[in-house]
Amino acid sequence: MKILPTFRFKFSNNNHLLMTDLFDKLLKNRGPLGMHSKESYGYFMFPKLEGEISNRMVFRGKEKLVWSLNNYLGLANHPEVRSTDASAAGEFGFALPMGARMMSGNSDNHEKLERDLAAFEGKEASILLNYGYQGIMSAIDCLVDRHDVIVYDSESHACIIDGVRLHMGKRFVYPHNDIENLEKQLTRATRIANETGGAILVITEGVFGMSGDQGKLREIVELKKKFSFRLLVDDAHGFGTMGKTGAGVGEEQGVQDGIDIYFGTFAKSMAMIGGFIASDDQVVDYLRHNMRSQIFAKSLPMALVVGAQKRLDLLKSKPELKDNLWKIVNALQSGLKNAGFEIGKTQSPVTPVYLNGTIPEATNLIIDLRENYDIFCSMVVYPVVPKGIIILRLIPTAVHTLEDVNYTIDAFSKIYGKLKSGQYQADRIIPVAN
Ligand SMILES: Cc1ncc(COP(=O)(O)O)c(C=O)c1O
């Protein structure tokens, strides 16, 4: 669609700003990502990975070793998952049930999945979410009112930040995993809650998706002895991957009971879409009757609910999926460290590799890696991280092999050598093998 220029004067006679057309600014400022849209479409942004979801997929007509999918347990293409998905789609289609859960969109399958998720998480009840992102935003919105205070980790995912934005009361942020500072924020929050008669909600993540480190849940839960608050944990990356049974980071750190509201998504370990919140009976009942994103939106289609149930059953009955994941995680992370790479503080499958370089160097490096070594991984640069830092983010899965790991470490050592010797500087063009 062509956006027509507007015909208004920007200033009136007395120099007051006059209104503009809403689209004017979209033309001038396309945003930090949109500004690169022309050069990066289809390659760095919106790439198309084709073929069966696995460790090897096709990018621009050529097979690549893929390290960028959150298919942690390899369930995306598990034969039992594929056959359940196909038969559920055949039996129910994607329309059933029509409407929001509360109105006409409920079913026995939805309720059974909720009971099973709650039992798996060691909670009394759970509520399904038609999307994880909206679900958690809306849960935050639903749980607090203007008298309450939110205290949250500075590296929280965008869905938490958006949920906090909806909050009409006070909020305090603490630097990532800084428990001393969290105590300070809790002291401030307690003062305010005492004035307003409100309460405190602390929000953090189980696994932080960029750095891979875990939220310090044990220390946060310990603070409940000193302060009165409820704890919401977004365990999108921890559900299915962390803890003895895969119940997540609460289980891993032995503090599942201290998590008052547990959020998990189906979009990562379950390789699907949707999510859930598990908590006490009364909290879930309150969410069910007050959470706007679920009351005013269509419920998860039955075929997806049946698919999610199958995935949960496999996740519980096949511990070898998680064992395979961790075999690859351990080999990749120790191999990278032994080869001299900096992988930061990760305590989860998320594997960031930190390098130093400019954005043109990062661009050349990723092209070389993708075209000449056939490795597809994501790259994070400024403004997401400080200038001069390049993060190559690898997501190991249960369907990767030790050969994939060795090949990747070898290729990374080569590109690292090239980066250090200046071969990726902006004036050099990396030759691409045919
Ligand atoms: C930490 C975290 N929370 C929430 C979400 C949103 O989940 P969904 O993709 O199910 O909407 C994501 C997904 O990227 C995530 O990484």
Report the range of poorest mean pLDDT among 1-10, 84-93, 147-156, 210-219. Answer: 1-10
User: Which residues share a beta bridge with 17?
Assistant: 11
Q: Does ligand 1 lie within 6 Å of residue 265's CB atom?
A: yes
Residue 11 is predicted with a pLDDT of: 54
Q: What is the identity of the amino acid at 248?
A: G
Ligand 1 atom closest to Cα of residue 207: 1
Residue 430 is predicted with a pLDDT of: 64
Q: Does ligand 1 lie within 6 Å of residue 133's CB atom?
A: yes
Residue 370 is predicted with a pLDDT of: 97
Distance CA 285, CA 287 (A): 5
Tally the residues of the chain: 434
Distance CA 73, CA 67 (A): 13
| Whether pLDDT at 160 is above 90 | yes
Q: Does ligand 1 lie within 6 Å of residue 267's CB atom?
A: yes
With bands split at pLDDT 50, 70 and 90, how would you rate the model's confidence at 1?
very low
Residue 385 is predicted with a pLDDT of: 85
Contacts for 401 with CB less than 8 Å, ≥ 6 apart: 55, 328
For 379, which DSSP code?
A: E
Pocket test for ligand 1, best of 265, 277, 300, 350 (most atoms within 8 A of CB): 265
pLDDT tens-place string over residues 320-377: 999 999 999 999 999 999 999 999 999 999 999 999 999 889 999 999 999 999 999 9
With bands split at pLDDT 50, 70 and 90, how would you rate the model's confidence at 253?
very high
pLDDT tens-place string over residues 99-129: 999 999 999 999 999 999 999 999 999 999 9
Distance CA 293, CA 186 (A): 29
Distance CA 117, CA 127 (A): 9
With bands split at pLDDT 50, 70 and 90, how would you rate the model's confidence at 76?
very high
Distance CA 235, CA 240 (A): 10
Distance CA 61, CA 42 (A): 13
From residue 75, how far is each of 72, 271, 311, 324, 419 by CA, in Å? 8, 6, 7, 12, 36
| Whether pLDDT at 185 is above 90 | yes
Q: Does ligand 1 lie within 6 Å of residue 236's CB atom?
A: yes
Answer with the residue of higher pLDDT: 410 or 31: 410
Q: Does ligand 1 lie within 6 Å of residue 287's CB atom?
A: no
Residue-averaged pLDDT of the chain: 94
| Whether pLDDT at 272 is above 50 | yes
Radius of gyration of the chain (CA): 24
For 30, which DSSP code?
A: -
Ligand 1 atom closest to Cα of residue 266: 10
288-292: Cβ within 8 A, 24+ apart: 288/101, 288/102, 288/127, 289/102, 290/142, 291/127, 291/135, 291/138, 291/139, 291/141, 291/142, 292/138, 292/141, 292/142
One-character DSSP codes across 345-377: T--SS-EEEEEE--HHHHHHHHHHHHHTS-EE-
Pocket test for ligand 1, best of 71, 157, 207, 304 (most atoms within 8 A of CB): 157
C-alpha 388, offset from chain centre: 24
The C-alpha angle with vertex 426 and arms to 425 and 432, in degrees rounded to 5, equals 85
Ligand 1 atom closest to Cα of residue 157: 1
Pair type for strands 378-380 and 389-394 = antiparallel
pLDDT tens-place string over residues 13-72: 666 778 889 998 888 888 877 777 777 889 988 999 999 999 999 999 999 999 999 999
pLDDT tens-place string over residues 199-223: 999 999 999 999 999 999 999 999 9
3-state secondary structure 143-197: HCCCCCEEEEECCCCHHHHHHHHCCCCEEEEECCCCHHHHHHHHHHHHHHHHHHC
With bands split at pLDDT 50, 70 and 90, how would you rate the model's confidence at 7?
very low
- 146: number of Cβ within 10 Å: 10
Separation of CA 265 and ligand 1 centre (Å) = 6
Q: Does ligand 1 lie within 6 Å of residue 206's CB atom?
A: no
Is 263 within 8 Å of 233 (Cβ atoms)?
Answer: yes
Residue among 204, 128, 140 nearest 168 (CA)? 140
For 245, which DSSP code?
A: S
The three-state secondary structure class of 106 is coil
Q: Does ligand 1 lie within 6 Å of residue 270's CB atom?
A: no
